[in-house]
Amino acid sequence: MDKSDFQAYEDEIQALEEEIRLLTEKYEVLQQESTFFSDEEIFQAIKSFQRENQGETRGHESPSDLKAQLESLETDLSFLMKFTGFQFTSHSKKTVEKTTNRTVQKHTLSGKCHFLPFHLEFQLLEMQNNEKVSAVVSDLSIKMESREDSDVSKFVSSIEEHADLLKFFRSLSTYAEWHEHRRRTFLHFKAKYPDIVTLPEGLLGDFIILRNPKVSGFELMIVWKIHLDAEGTTTPVLDLLTKVPEKVLEQRMTSVESIPGSFRSALGLFGIEAAIENLIKVLGSEK
């Protein structure tokens, strides 16, 4: 190999090093930006990157290997979203401070858990001491549509005060799962007993009305509240209210008054779905 060949390789190496430097600078600039990117945009960018780099992976993994890895990651992401109910729709971070062993970044994160949307803003301090890296969350701000609920508002205020992101995600997951369970339960009974079950506030309401078409004016209201305390504990609370015409009340005062208590007992013995099912069947049998 003569001198000209060595020079050609050196020129190519220098060109590659310059390209790497430019790409690194571009990457760091993009990391500093606060622009939101959706999941679809991110996946499109990855696929575009794959197309541009096909045939240029000498000494690296083949395009088929990279595609398999991407598909595996997408499958894992889909599983996690189904398992936890979380779907993150946008994320951005901006470096506020950076030294040799200290980095402060501002994060903005939006998403939803089942159908409950949320928006977070917080700072993350990362400190490196020898081989150990520690992270501290501060300046946490949470926005939720359901914060109008006093229980949710107290919970969010407590989370913001202690900047406890882990508790927020864990508690929100359980809280949202109960809302989703209530929605599916209401949908099930509405579809199964359309002549008896009505949903005045829709599937996202917290009560259903039961009416017997053969007994005018007689209604049972099942109220299903979902409480969330400041510690993040979710508790479903169900009760039964009655609306009875005067004539029916005079004739069957004792039996009518016992309905709410019987319903609460059935909840403890059989569970929510079975208690509602039995109540509907008894109501439907009345003439």
Looking up tokens 């729709």 gives 89
Instruction: Report whether pLDDT(6) > 70.
Output: no
Quote the pLDDT of residue 36. 45
What is the C-alpha to C-alpha distance for residues 103 and 141, in angstroms, rounded to an integer? 20
Residue 58 has pLDDT above 70, yes or no: no
pTM metric for this prediction: 0.68
Q: What is the pLDDT of residues 191-223, one digit of tens each?
A: 999 999 999 999 989 999 999 877 777 889 999
DSSP calls for 129-188: ETTEEEEEEEEEEEEEGGGGSHHHHHHHHHHHHHT-HHHHHHHHHHHHHHHHHHHHHHHH
Under 8 Å CB-to-CB from 217, ≥6 apart: which residues?
Answer: 243, 244, 245, 248
**pLDDT, tens only, 18-32:** 666 666 655 555 554
Domain residue extents for the chain: 176-284
Q: At 164, is the pLDDT very low, low, confident or very high (cuts 50, 70, 90)? A: very high
pLDDT band at 33 (very low <50, low <70, confident <90, very high): very low
Q: Give residue-wise pLDDT tens across range 183-193.
A: 999 999 999 99
5 pLDDT above the threshold of 70: no
pLDDT (0 to 100) of residue 35: 44
Distances (CA, A) of 59 to 62, 63, 70, 95: 9, 12, 19, 33
